[in-house]
A and B are shown apart, each in its own frame.
Chain A
């Protein structure tokens, strides 16, 4: 059981700056995120796209913004739990008991939801019969490539993940690469390589095809793929890999007894607290009259939620407002002054 003053759900820009604000006022915190890296939408959706409306930063990309926010956390010791999704938030005495998909549990008076539009999950095949093979012979990511050795693997998708795995697995598997159109959107070098491997007969390329059906009882036997002109082809296959990027799902947050409207959580504008005492929502996921879905709004919301956390984490102390320019306390925490 991890005890902490505040648990932040979501390691996007808002979650990161909220962590900064908590540590600055002397609270400890931990951060959970379902992605395998820090940065949220900034790193997953637009790492290379320039952003022009961060105050005092005329231009930066999603990746640069994330790196700067991480740098701003350097003075502090903050534990990040990546690749974990918060599944359960339950009241236990005065604290919230929080459990993740990996079985990590936390006890904390404060839970701050900085979850954007929800957690990133892989996009899945649309035919219903694909579901029963999921995690057995049909995967949306590769955890152990050894299982494919000598087998027939059918890879779907047109981006770098699909191309890279097609190239890699073509070394010791029989690879089908299936994509909905002729053009691929990955790195040019990978596209060229795939076309060369296809010419050499090392990759079977099927373009303008999409998944129509997965066939087999317990064990996957074959798949039907459908051409744009409605022609169907049956491919014998041992494994299927689908790489269609990620989509944001609200997921378990919907079950925590919060007031949710259109995938956003209602909060007050003093503490950014939800209808549950000690649970706050900040950034894109919160909603209140006048809410703007801008990163700068998330920073403000996180700063106020952090102050609200102080009351529940340190009920016998009084929070005193201080500036980083002058406060010895704050400068010590920032590592700029020694004791």
Chain B
């Protein structure tokens, strides 16, 4: 279990306990957090689960796999701290992770 905080574009915090093994994307979708579309369902094929990871967490996350950076080329307003939330698998180590959801996904 890890407490994940999603900050939506209107600056509202949503802190959710997400089960280990689920992705940060699934945690958002299952809890109806707006702003993460995840059109392709986690296949790293659409870039609509794009989030900005709080700086201090960037190095603690498992690094990007091949293809994630390519998909981020297509994301809406990508930044240095951009990740695809479908590629971040939740574990105890991620307790306290905070991500910002962009104003839109495309």
Residue of B nearest to A62 (CB): B45
State which residues 166-211 of A face B: CB under 8 Å.
Answer: 179-181, 183, 185, 210
What is the predominant secondary structure among interface residues of chain B facing chain A? loop
In the complex with contacts A180-B78, A228-B80, A247-B105, A185-B73 CB distance below 8 A: yes
**Interface flags, A137-161, vs B, CB<8A=1, else 0:** 0000000000000000000011100
State whether A46 touches B43 (Cβ < 8 A): yes
From A244, A248, A263, give the contact of B73 (CB < 8 A): A244
Distance between Cα atoms of A158 and B73 in the complex (Å): 7
State whether A247 touches B69 (Cβ < 8 A): no
Residue of A nearest to B103 (CB): A126
Q: A173 → chain B, closest Cβ, in Å?
A: 23
Residue of A nearest to B72 (CB): A180
Residue of A nearest to B67 (CB): A185
| Interface check A251, CB cutoff 8 A | no
State whether A45 touches B48 (Cβ < 8 A): no
State whether B74 touches A49 (Cβ < 8 A): no
State which residues 225-265 of A face B: CB under 8 Å.
Answer: 228, 244-245, 247-249, 263
Distance between Cα atoms of A124 and B69 in the complex (Å): 18
State whether B73 touches A157 (Cβ < 8 A): yes
| Interface check A90, CB cutoff 8 A | no
Q: A180 → chain B, closest Cβ, in Å?
A: 6
What is the predominant secondary structure among interface residues of chain A facing chain B? loop
Number of A-B contacts (CB under 8 A): 53
B-side contacts of A180, CB under 8 Å = 73, 78
In the complex with contacts A158-B73, A183-B69, A245-B74, A45-B80 CB distance below 8 A: no
Q: Interface residues of B toward A: which range?
A: 10 to 19
State whether B46 touches A159 (Cβ < 8 A): no
Distance between Cα atoms of A267 and B89 in the complex (Å): 33
| Interface check B39, CB cutoff 8 A | yes
| Interface check A330, CB cutoff 8 A | no
Residue of A nearest to B73 (CB): A158
In the complex with contacts A46-B45, A123-B106, A181-B69, A244-B39 CB distance below 8 A: no
| Interface check B77, CB cutoff 8 A | yes
From B39, B70, B73, B80, give the contact of A117 (CB < 8 A): B39
Residue of B nearest to A117 (CB): B39
Distance between Cα atoms of A192 and B40 in the complex (Å): 31
B-side contacts of A249, CB under 8 Å = 106
Q: A134 → chain B, closest Cβ, in Å?
A: 15
Distance between Cα atoms of A227 and B5 in the complex (Å): 29
**Interface flags, A7-41, vs B, CB<8A=1, else 0:** 00000000000000000000000000000000001
| Interface check A300, CB cutoff 8 A | no
| Interface check B96, CB cutoff 8 A | no
Distance between Cα atoms of A249 and B106 in the complex (Å): 9
| Interface check B21, CB cutoff 8 A | no
State whether A159 touches B73 (Cβ < 8 A): yes
| Interface check A293, CB cutoff 8 A | yes
Residue of B nearest to A185 (CB): B70
From A45, A185, A210, give the contact of B45 (CB < 8 A): A45
B-side contacts of A126, CB under 8 Å = 76-77
B-side contacts of A245, CB under 8 Å = 47, 73-74
| 14 A-B pairs with C-beta separation under 8 A | A41-B40, A45-B45, A46-B43, A49-B43, A117-B39, A117-B40, A124-B106, A159-B73, A185-B69, A185-B73, A210-B77, A247-B46, A247-B47, A247-B105
Counting from the closest, the 10 A-B pairs by CB-CB distance are: A247-B106, A185-B70, A45-B45, A245-B74, A117-B39, A158-B73, A244-B74, A126-B77, A248-B39, A123-B106
Given contacts A159-B70, A247-B48, A247-B105, 7 further A-B contacts (CB under 8 A): A41-B45, A45-B40, A45-B46, A46-B45, A183-B69, A245-B73, A293-B41
